[in-house]
Chain A
Amino acid sequence: MQVLLLIVVLLGLTAVGFRLGRGRAITVARGATRRLPALPRYYGWYVMLWCLLPAAAILGTWLAAEPSVLKVLVLGALPADLQALPEAPLNLLYNDIRNVALGHGTTEDPAVAAAAAHFAALRASAWPIMAAVSVAVLLAGGAFGLRMVGPRLRARHAVESVVTVLLLISSTIAVFTTLGIVLSLLFEAIRFFRLVPPGEFLFGLQWSPQTAIRADQVGSSGSFGAAPVFAGTALISVIAMAVATPIGLFAAIYMAEYAPRRVRAILKPVLEILAGIPTVVYGFFAALTVAPFLRDIGAGLGLDVASESALAAGAVMGIMIIPFVSSLADDAIAAVPRSLREGAYGLGATQSETIRQVVLPAALPGIVGGVLLAVSRAIGETMIVVMAAGLAAKLTANPLEAVTTVTVQIVTLLTGDQEFDSAKTLAAFALGMMLFLVTLVLNVIALYVVRRYREQYE
């Protein structure tokens, strides 16, 4: 809250800087602003940038550095016996101290209480310094900017080049995001593979990541053979695609070739609704309605259907994916030139024969691309399987049993209080890397196929 107030004050001062800069430009030109190389408002913006950029840089660095500096200072002031603790308990202790100092908890331990008081005092004293420094930097920057304002300053060029740099930086954020994903997954996965060899991870048949907290507990070493997890992901994705591909494809054919224009104008957005429903809603639907329904049907047929069967999760996921398949297939079918269809009609083919033997083969690459994108969607889908699929890894191809998936395992491994360095949490990153790689490859292939195909008829 204090920081927010400070930001508001800084922005207010910046606005003042804008007015001063513009006013000074007009004064310098003695009213004849046409003699200036830029419009007066550009001088205002010039001063504004001089106010804002240095102050924002200082404030950002301060806020980024504050937690680690505070930690060093607070831990440095702890009694020697506490300082001698190993890193992990020390971090826990520091968390306690922080929580007490921020009022999120209470403590019995006098050492923690003292450290928390120290923490609070440091924070309280740091805050006015930070405010003063950032305001001072802002004023200094603004004063410098104002001094520079004159008939020889080409303010528009200066402002526009700064803005261009900002635009350039924005456009690189996507690249940095990808880089961040790759690096974070890679680093944690490498740490994991130091504990568990990659061969065992990829091909091992035993997945039970429950490492114990104490080393002497029974079953203290988890086993990390992820093959059953991959198999479960594949099984659920196959079920999803078995539902989504025929329904999506036939829906696309009907909408593109048969449906009257007005029906199509209604059907298409209605089908798109399926893709817009949040996945957590599908998960709830699968767990609440579909799974019990399938279990009852199975019981009626004398089959033993698990209450978290792969079939329920896969079928619901398939429903979610229908619009992905249908809209991409629709695009691909619509892109087939009329002349091909008319040629087939001219030879006496019926409409369905034309579609099956001319249009679909011509549209096949686009359809395949769409299906591949849908597969990558199914593999990466999380909430439906977290809520409707099982937790135990089981190597089976029976859709009536409960299986688990990569995404379910990532979620269960990371949503509990666990120290971050255990093989268990690191395993989640190794699974995440596999997920990222597989979906990336699928996407690249799909985009390539779709693009190649599109060029063919353009």
Chain B
Amino acid sequence: MNDTLPTRVATAEAVARSLRRRYAAERRFRLYGMGAIGIALAMLLILFGTIFGNGWSAFRQTALLLPVTLDAAEIDPPGTRDPAVLSAADYEGQVKAALRAMFPEATGRKDKKALAELVSNGAGYALRDAVLADPSLLDRSFEIRVPASDLVDMVMKGRIRTDVPEADRPVSDSQLGWIAVLRDQDRLSLGFNTQFFIGGDSREPELAGIAGALLGSLWTMLVVLFLAFPMGVMAAIYLEEFASRNRWTDIIEVNINNLAAVPSIVFGLLGLAVFLNFFGMPRSAPLVGGMVLALMTLPTVIIASRAALKAVPPSIREAALGLGASRMQMVSGHVLPLAMPGVLTGAIIGMARALGETAPLLMIGMVAFIVDLPKGPLHAATVLPVQIFLWADSPERAFVERTSAATIVLLVFLVLMNLGAVLLRRRFERRW
């Protein structure tokens, strides 16, 4: 034993020193982990913060209370109050005239044009609808709420900086002056933006709505539901309950796993080459979009359904078979009902992914500018994520707000679907 007291002390000191170092390293390592999670969470918060911060104001929209005295002789020359005559008249001119009556100082061509920019193109339609509903308006002065233009809307919401030089902002000094006057007279008001929820797409931000895109998404999702759900469940039942394990089922299984990881845009190419060019199906139709998304969703549904079927214990199957059920009766009467919560959960999650998918739909022409609301799965349409993509490209400041608002709506739908899936699992899932 040559381990004398001084060397033992030296060893203890060395260990204590290295321990301090090692514990510091331990704390650092732990901090890296927390830092990583912190960064991820911060990104999530920034993302949601930006979207909500930009988007919440789009749910309100500026309206202008316009005093109007219609020129009955110009709107209805025969004086018969015939709706056909009334609806053909030039109401946009009347709106402009009403504006000029409020601000007689705007006389030059340029000033008049700047003044007309304060109201939306939709103001004429609003006036027409009011007159058609009540022709007696022709005989008296009245006030009507018409949509203001996106410029006024943005100024009202403080989205356009007014403290920069005139050349650096889309709104001129004279326009700002008029807006200030209208504000003082209490003629500009922010109200709930109904147009956003009932309108189709439009080049004018204040008239653009998501109803068309929502309906398109609805039709597309219906097609996905009717294709991917039954086929996915049937494929899962076959693979899990009937197929014997051989080379063919191995190929199918590898295939499904790989298909689940194929980039979504490749499914779009498939849809373009096969559905559109080979079978000659219509472009931009929710039917084709739904078929492409169904093929994309199928692996998710199959994998989830197989897991759910696998979780049903063999004793259930043996009991059913023992009582004389055929294999088909065993599956349809016992195994499938028990696996249904898991199957539905998988289907909802797959549908949620399909609802947020954009890229494959660009390939099959669902990016067209479509104003009409789609009436069926063969009517040209776009879907909510594609609408977001289209609006994100628009230069107007007001479209940033609409894009964010459309994103909020999309996220709400996704959250609801995922919440539904979670609740379904919580409520019905059985542990054996």
**Measuring CB to CB, which residues of chain A are less than 8 angstroms from any residue of chain B?**
1, 4, 64, 67-68, 156, 160, 163-164, 166-168, 170-175, 177-178, 180-181, 184-185, 187-188, 246-251, 253-255, 257-258, 267, 270-271, 273-274, 276-285, 287-289, 319, 322, 326, 350-353, 355-356, 373, 376-377, 379-383, 386-387, 407, 410-411, 414-415, 420, 428-429, 432, 435-436, 439-440, 443-444, 447
| Minimum CB–CB distance for B141 against chain A, Å | 41
- A277–B45 Cα distance when bound, in Å, is 13
- Asked if A167 contacts B35 (CB within 8 A), the reply is no
Residues from 355 to 412 in B contacting A, C-beta threshold 8 Å: 355-359, 362-363, 365, 367, 376, 385-386, 388-389, 392, 400, 403-404, 407, 410-411
Verify if B242 is at the interface (C-beta below 8 Å from A): yes
- Asked if B242 contacts A164 (CB within 8 A), the reply is yes
**6 A-B pairs in the complex with CB atoms less than 8 angstroms apart:** A184-B269, A288-B50, A386-B362, A435-B265, A440-B258, A440-B262
What 1/0 flags go to B11-26 for Cβ under 8 Å of A?
0000000000011011
- Asked if B265 contacts A432 (CB within 8 A), the reply is yes
A283/B359 contact (C-beta < 8 A), A175-B251, A278-B385 known: no
- A238–B278 Cα distance when bound, in Å, is 37
Contacts A174-B299, A175-B251, A248-B36 aside, 19 further interface pairs with beta carbons under 8 A come to A167-B234, A170-B238, A175-B255, A178-B255, A180-B274, A246-B36, A247-B39, A254-B36, A257-B33, A276-B414, A279-B358, A280-B385, A319-B47, A352-B26, A355-B29, A379-B263, A429-B269, A432-B265, A447-B258
Q: Considering residues B25, B231, B376, which has the most beta carbons from chain A within 10 angstroms of its beta carbon?
A: B231
A277/B411 contact (C-beta < 8 A), A68-B280, A167-B242, A407-B359 known: yes
A280/B298 contact (C-beta < 8 A), A171-B234, A415-B362 known: no
Verify if B195 is at the interface (C-beta below 8 Å from A): no
Chain A residues whose CB sits within 8 angstroms of the CB of B255 once the complex forms: 174-175, 178
Q: Considering residues B47, B232, B327, which has the most beta carbons from chain A within 10 angstroms of its beta carbon?
A: B47
| Minimum CB–CB distance for B359 against chain A, Å | 4
Verify if B115 is at the interface (C-beta below 8 Å from A): no
Residue of B nearest to A322 (CB): B40
- Asked if A428 contacts B302 (CB within 8 A), the reply is no
Q: Considering residues B37, B234, B261, B278, which has the most beta carbons from chain A within 10 angstroms of its beta carbon?
A: B37
Residue of B nearest to A166 (CB): B234
Residue of B nearest to A163 (CB): B328
- A443–B365 Cα distance when bound, in Å, is 29
- A170–B365 Cα distance when bound, in Å, is 28
A281/B388 contact (C-beta < 8 A), A188-B273, A443-B261 known: yes
- Asked if B392 contacts A284 (CB within 8 A), the reply is yes
Verify if B235 is at the interface (C-beta below 8 Å from A): yes
A177/B242 contact (C-beta < 8 A), A170-B235, A276-B352 known: no
Chain A residues whose CB sits within 8 angstroms of the CB of B202 once the complex forms: none
Q: Sort A-B residue pairs by CB-CB distance and give the 6 closest, nearest first.
A: A380-B263, A254-B33, A278-B356, A250-B36, A184-B273, A352-B29
- Asked if A171 contacts B239 (CB within 8 A), the reply is yes
Residues from 196 to 241 in B contacting A, C-beta threshold 8 Å: 230-232, 234-235, 237-239
Chain B interface mostly: helix
- Asked if A411 contacts B265 (CB within 8 A), the reply is yes
Chain B residues whose CB sits within 8 angstroms of the CB of A439 once the complex forms: 261-263
- Asked if A429 contacts B273 (CB within 8 A), the reply is yes
Q: Considering residues A166, A283, A414, which has the most beta carbons from chain B within 10 angstroms of its beta carbon?
A: A414
A-B contact count (CB 8 A): 250
| Minimum CB–CB distance for A367 against chain B, Å | 14
- Asked if A280 contacts B235 (CB within 8 A), the reply is no
A387/B389 contact (C-beta < 8 A), A279-B356, A432-B265 known: yes
- A257–B33 Cα distance when bound, in Å, is 10
Chain A residues whose CB sits within 8 angstroms of the CB of B277 once the complex forms: 420
Picked from B40, B238, B407, the residue with its CB within 8 Å of the CB of A247 is B40
- A399–B369 Cα distance when bound, in Å, is 34
Chain B residues whose CB sits within 8 angstroms of the CB of A253 once the complex forms: 33
**Measuring CB to CB, which residues of chain B are less than 8 angstroms from any residue of chain A?**
22-23, 25-26, 28-30, 32-37, 39-41, 43-44, 46-47, 50-51, 54, 230-232, 234-235, 237-239, 242-243, 251-252, 255-259, 261-267, 269-270, 272-274, 277-280, 295, 298-299, 302, 326-328, 352-353, 355-359, 362-363, 365, 367, 376, 385-386, 388-389, 392, 400, 403-404, 407, 410-411, 414, 418
| Minimum CB–CB distance for B75 against chain A, Å | 29
Picked from A173, A248, A257, A285, the residue with its CB within 8 Å of the CB of B47 is A285
Picked from A257, A352, A356, A373, the residue with its CB within 8 Å of the CB of B261 is A373
Chain B residues whose CB sits within 8 angstroms of the CB of A283 once the complex forms: 389, 392
- A231–B259 Cα distance when bound, in Å, is 26
A172/B252 contact (C-beta < 8 A), A64-B279, A411-B362 known: yes
Picked from A184, A350, A376, the residue with its CB within 8 Å of the CB of B270 is A184
- Asked if B389 contacts A274 (CB within 8 A), the reply is no
Chain B residues whose CB sits within 8 angstroms of the CB of A410 once the complex forms: 265, 269, 363
- Asked if A164 contacts B40 (CB within 8 A), the reply is no
Q: Considering residues A255, A356, A382, which has the most beta carbons from chain B within 10 angstroms of its beta carbon?
A: A382
Chain A residues whose CB sits within 8 angstroms of the CB of B356 once the complex forms: 276-281
Residue of A nearest to B279 (CB): A64
| Minimum CB–CB distance for A415 against chain B, Å | 5
- A231–B245 Cα distance when bound, in Å, is 43
| Minimum CB–CB distance for A147 against chain B, Å | 25
- Asked if A274 contacts B43 (CB within 8 A), the reply is yes
- Asked if B258 contacts A319 (CB within 8 A), the reply is no
Chain B residues whose CB sits within 8 angstroms of the CB of A414 once the complex forms: 269, 272, 362-363
Chain B residues whose CB sits within 8 angstroms of the CB of A285 once the complex forms: 47, 50-51
A274/B44 contact (C-beta < 8 A), A170-B238, A171-B239, A415-B362 known: yes
- Asked if B359 contacts A171 (CB within 8 A), the reply is no
- Asked if A353 contacts B22 (CB within 8 A), the reply is yes
- Asked if A184 contacts B259 (CB within 8 A), the reply is no
Chain B residues whose CB sits within 8 angstroms of the CB of A407 once the complex forms: 263, 265, 359
Chain B residues whose CB sits within 8 angstroms of the CB of A350 once the complex forms: 22-23, 25-26
Picked from B39, B272, B295, B388, the residue with its CB within 8 Å of the CB of A177 is B295
Chain A residues whose CB sits within 8 angstroms of the CB of B41 once the complex forms: 270-271
| Minimum CB–CB distance for B432 against chain A, Å | 21
Chain B residues whose CB sits within 8 angstroms of the CB of A246 once the complex forms: 36
| Minimum CB–CB distance for A306 against chain B, Å | 18
Chain A residues whose CB sits within 8 angstroms of the CB of B51 once the complex forms: 281, 284-285
Chain A residues whose CB sits within 8 angstroms of the CB of B326 once the complex forms: 156, 160
Chain B residues whose CB sits within 8 angstroms of the CB of A443 once the complex forms: 257-258, 261
- Asked if B358 contacts A160 (CB within 8 A), the reply is no
| Minimum CB–CB distance for A212 against chain B, Å | 23
A383/B358 contact (C-beta < 8 A), A67-B280, A288-B50 known: yes
| Minimum CB–CB distance for B34 against chain A, Å | 6
Chain A residues whose CB sits within 8 angstroms of the CB of B261 once the complex forms: 373, 376-377, 439, 443
